[in-house]
Amino acid sequence: MRRAHRARSLDLMLFWSAFAALFALTLCALLRPLLAKGQSVGGGTARDVFAAQLTELEADRSRGVISDADAATARTELARRILRAGDEAAVLSASRRRAWITATLVAVFVPVFGAGAYFALGAPELGDQPLAARIAPIDPQRLAALVADAEERLAANPDDGEGWAASAPAFQQLRRFDDAAAAYARADDL
């Protein structure tokens, strides 16, 4: 009695450990794309890159590599990019916030729904049931009546290959082996 109780406790512990491990793996697979970091440009933000380009532009203008008019045009374009990068950062921040909200909802919904569905539909208290116990035997008289009906249909339609193939196992179960072999041969011919 004590050994059976201990074995049952061990089985339940293994079941729930496997359930927890599968749950953790599922959550990791679902949450990883949601929480993945976006790529940064050159180790910094886009705004930092554009600010560095603006500094280089001023250095090039002071050395005379670029004219004042070209430097002004380039400065204007870099200013636009810096403003656009600020807007993109705000959008990225809002997107990250939505990703965290979605990840939180997934992390809550999946276990609640999964556990609810398991406890509503599953039956952990049932032990293993052998196949023979789950398959109800067919009453021989009912099977004989079904086979007789099938024989009438096949006599009316002898070119029904599927009918012959379906009736052959029934002949075998009734131990009419010659009829079963003939039905298989007829199904094979058709």
Question: How many whole angstroms separate alpha carbon 5 and alpha carbon 13?
Answer: 12
Residue 21: pLDDT over 50: yes
Question: How many whole angstroms separate alpha carbon 147 and alpha carbon 164?
Answer: 11
Residue 121: pLDDT over 60: yes
**Using alpha carbons only, what angle is made at residue 72 by residues 70 and 78, rounded to the nearest 5 degrees?**
100
Q: Is 30 exposed, middle or buried (CB count within 10 Å of its CB: 0-12, 13-18, 19+)?
A: middle
Q: Which amino acid is at 3?
A: R
Q: Structural domain boundaries of the chain?
A: 2-121, 136-189
The residue behind tokens 């952990």 is: 124
Task: Note the pLDDT tens digit of each residue in 40-49.
Answer: 444 566 667 7
Question: How many whole angstroms separate alpha carbon 30 and alpha carbon 103?
Answer: 8
Structure confidence at residue 42 (pLDDT): 47
- In the predicted model, what is the mean pLDDT of residues 59-86? 81
Question: How many whole angstroms separate alpha carbon 11 and alpha carbon 3?
Answer: 12
Short-list 37, 40, 77, CA closest to 57? 77
Please give the mean pLDDT across all residues of the chain.
80
Please tell me the pTM assigned to this model.
0.36
Under the banding of pLDDT at 50, 70 and 90, the label for residue 1 is low
